[in-house]
Amino acid sequence: MTFEILSKDLCSSARAGILTTDHGSIETPIFMPVGTVGSVKGVFHRELKNDINAQIILGNTYHLYLRPGCDTLRQAGGLHKFCNWDRPILTDSGGFQVFSLASARKLSEEGCRFQSHIDGSRHLFTPENVMDTQRAIGADIMMAFDECPPGDSSIEYASKSLDLTCRWLERCFNRFEQTSPLYGYKQTLIPIIQGCVYEDLRVKSVEFIKQFNPDGYAIGGLAVGEPTEQMYRMLEVVDQVIPTDKPRYLMGVGTPANIIEGIARGVDMFDCVMPTRNGRNGMLFTTEGVINIRNKKWETDFSPIDPAGITFVDTTYTKAYLRHLNIAGEMLAAQIASIHNLGFYLWLVRECRRRIIDGTFTQWKDAAIEKFMRRL
């Protein structure tokens, strides 16, 4: 994986670049739709490609390990062939999912023992077998196995957790170097910066990671319960110590405001389930603000969902029609809303990129956040 910075904002840490993998190039900043089990929920690949131009999607190691399993993925030739997606894929290591199963897992130096949320069966994740699983999945970008502490962790717990994550990271890189890609293209391993909301721990995490000279840096353990202001502060801290020539990936974040503020603090890559999950529940993000499509005020509003026409290539859906589908419980409502919201998020990062390149990002940023986050 290579990364080239093409333009920088003069008044912030925002930058526009190109990330290149064997499955194609990605224009940054970028938002990555979440395809947890090998699909972006409710969205066909043709919409991902043609309507919203998703340049990369995510898979999740925990979910794919449990179902369909590594044997099936190997026989299929990896996740790209299994789900017929020919663009880049990134896989999370499953660490966040495992550690969210607080009552059904046990943490040790070896790794993490956990019970499947599907059938209660018992499993063990170690840094080594998580690398093996991601080799079987065949993602272009693999995440290291880490512990994600809660946002309100004490400094004592966060420090012990970070030490464990650092020891696991060394084992991840050792296993990565001992193994080879299975499907004829290169993979890259990205470490995850942890340290909760403690500046010294975040810096310690980055400094430890530097010895491995990774192709990029992921920023984990944010948007997990800490105040938004603390999340932004941690981004400012790591922005000062991550090598400027490496891409930065903020994991699991977030709202349109979070994304714009993250870009201003040097982040290049984002993912979040919010566009699809909130869309299924009737919340739509638009260039004019946020809509609850179930509200009666949209019952006879025959204007397009978004006046900018940022999503669908050949169809215009009205607010009234989408409200009708939603109230009727029609599954098409979730599909339309999911595609629309993903389209908005992809439009948003493209607009940020355009503004960075033409030198208007900082002047545009605050008014854009206020506009995009207001409730209509």
Q: Angle formed by the axes of helices 228-239 and 199-210, to 10°? A: 40
Neighbours of 46 (CB within 10 A): 9
Cα torsion 48, 50, 52, 53: sign: positive
Give dist(CA 92, CA 142) in Å, integer: 7
Instruction: Please give the torsion angle defined by the CA atoms of residues 145, 252, 53 and 330, in that order, rounded to the nearest 10 degrees.
Output: 120
Give dist(CA 27, CA 300) in Å, integer: 39
Active site (annotated) includes residue 92: yes
Q: Which of 9, 51, 92, 306 is catalytic?
A: 92
Active site (annotated) includes residue 358: no
Give dist(CA 85, CA 143) in Å, integer: 20
- Please state the separation of Cα 355 from the chain's center in Å: 22
Stated as kind and residue range, the H or E segment containing 370 is: helix 361-373
**Burial degree of 264 (CB within 10 A; 0-12, 13-18, 19+):** buried
Give dist(CA 29, CA 16) in Å, integer: 6
**In one letter, which amino acid is 255?**
T
DSSP H helices in the chain: 45-46, 61-66, 70-76, 79-83, 95-99, 127-137, 155-178, 199-210, 228-239, 256-264, 274-280, 319-327, 331-358, 361-373
- On the question of a cis peptide bond just before residue 254, with omega within 30 degrees of 0, the verdict is yes
> What is the CB-side half-sphere exposure of residue 144 using CA atoms within 13 A?
32
The closest alpha carbon to 333, from 303, 294, 295, belongs to 294
Show which residues are catalytic.
Answer: 92, 271
